Amino acid sequence: MAASTTAAPSAGTFWADADKHLVRYGGEFTDEIIEHAAGSFVFTAEGRRLLDFTSGQMSAILGHSHPRIVTTVQRQIGTLDHLFSGMLSRPVVDLARRLADTLPAPLEKALLLTTGAESNEAAIRMAKLVTGRHEIVSFARSWHGMTQAAASATYSAGRKGYGPGAPGNFALPVPNAYRPDFTTADGSLDWRRQLDFAFDLIDAQSTGSLAACLVEPILSSGGIIEPPAGYFAALRVKCRERGMLLVLDEAQTGLCRTGTWYAFERDGVVPDILTLSKTLGAGLPLAAVVTSAEIEQEAHERGYLFFTTHVADPLVAAVGNTVLDVLIDDRLDERARTLGTFLHDGLSALADRHAVVGDVRGRGLLAGLELVADRETKRSSNELGARVTRRCLELGLHMNIVQLPGMGSVLRMAPPLTATEEELSLGLTILDQAIGDTCR
């Protein structure tokens, strides 16, 4: 029988227990015991305050312990938290309706789930059923989740050692303007030629069963890479020519982070299916699949099944409604645009001061800074990125870095939309010092 304790174990005991009892699930654990969090900061057991430039797992867009979220959880947990999955509650229907109100036609039908992987799994399953096909196309640096179909459409990491993925998955080259593979006469990215070449290869490999293209509007784990304007319109044409559905994964970009409610608004391209997760629950496990009435009807007639334990749970749906309330009441789309400009300008100033900063990119409050060992050759350095990240943590800034082969020098930043200019300035100051200390 497990022993009960009244006092918190010592740090030594804590780490011994962690080492003995926790399954390691990716990378190393941060060498800090986190006791609590509030706003833009997390606080350690040793009393250190860490500025959270990752919004938790890129999710807590309203910061930690937002008072309106706290009030909603306290109220809802005492009235209606979880139901049999075939039962409906007011928070669920309200959230589905309100999500539709934030989206362009014909996106109006929502399925409420828990995680990004689950929402992508549900979207892929729907696309396969509706089209009667099974082949899925996604970006070569994509991250869509760790469940079977989502993991099979994920190429940035985690493919080796687990046996075959789902059959019929193809990778698109990433249209990376900083590191172009197809170029025009002036050396800039020729994304149209790249896209044509990619689909020539896909057509050659396809068995004639292309179902959907699942992509992120801005690749996050892939290094904060935003395809050029016009790319998604051209991609949609490629999909239409082949009878494929276009599925956009806005786990990190949806709900005001990029300065608009959805990142796809920049291109005027409406997906056939939209997946949301991280930002929708502002740190709590809530995700959604949103599609048209036509696609939903076809899926239903064909017997669409995605019956899970926590589908349409009222507690997190109530939180989702509160998230929408705060985003609207506080005009956080406008705030993300303003603060995003402030952050981007600050990062560009760092690039002027430090030769190791090769590129600054992103949109709104989703930003990326790529460190290079040599600006001329753009030679990256995983070790350089790791050293800067460690120094940031020592100085009080939690910076999320993509510790993946070939991407270890890309720093990802996604501060809460509720952050202040002073907090962003603090983060920039710490990052400036960390680069200076590391790269002298």
| Residues with catalytic function | 143, 216, 249, 252, 278, 412
Query: Is the distance from CB of 66 to CB of 279 less than 8 angstroms?
Result: no
How many Å apart are CA 216 and CA 252, to the nearest integer?
9
How many Å apart are CA 193 and CA 176, to the nearest integer?
13
Residues 51-69, buried b or exposed e (16+ Cβ, 10 A)?
Answer: bbbbbbebbbbbbbebebb
How many Å apart are CA 278 and CA 251, to the nearest integer?
5
Residues ≥6 apart with Cβ < 8 Å to 23: none
How many Å apart are CA 381 and CA 407, to the nearest integer?
8
Residue that has been written with the tokens 């179902």 in this structure: 211
How many Å apart are CA 210 and CA 130, to the nearest integer?
12
How many Å apart are CA 354 and CA 360, to the nearest integer?
12
- The token pair at 27 is 């990378």
Angle, in degrees to the nearest 10, between helices 421-438 and 332-353: 20
User: What SS3 string covers 236-259?
Assistant: HHHHHHHCCEEEEECCCCCCCCCC
Residue that has been written with the tokens 């059923």 in this structure: 129
CA 421, 427, 432, 433 dihedral sign is positive
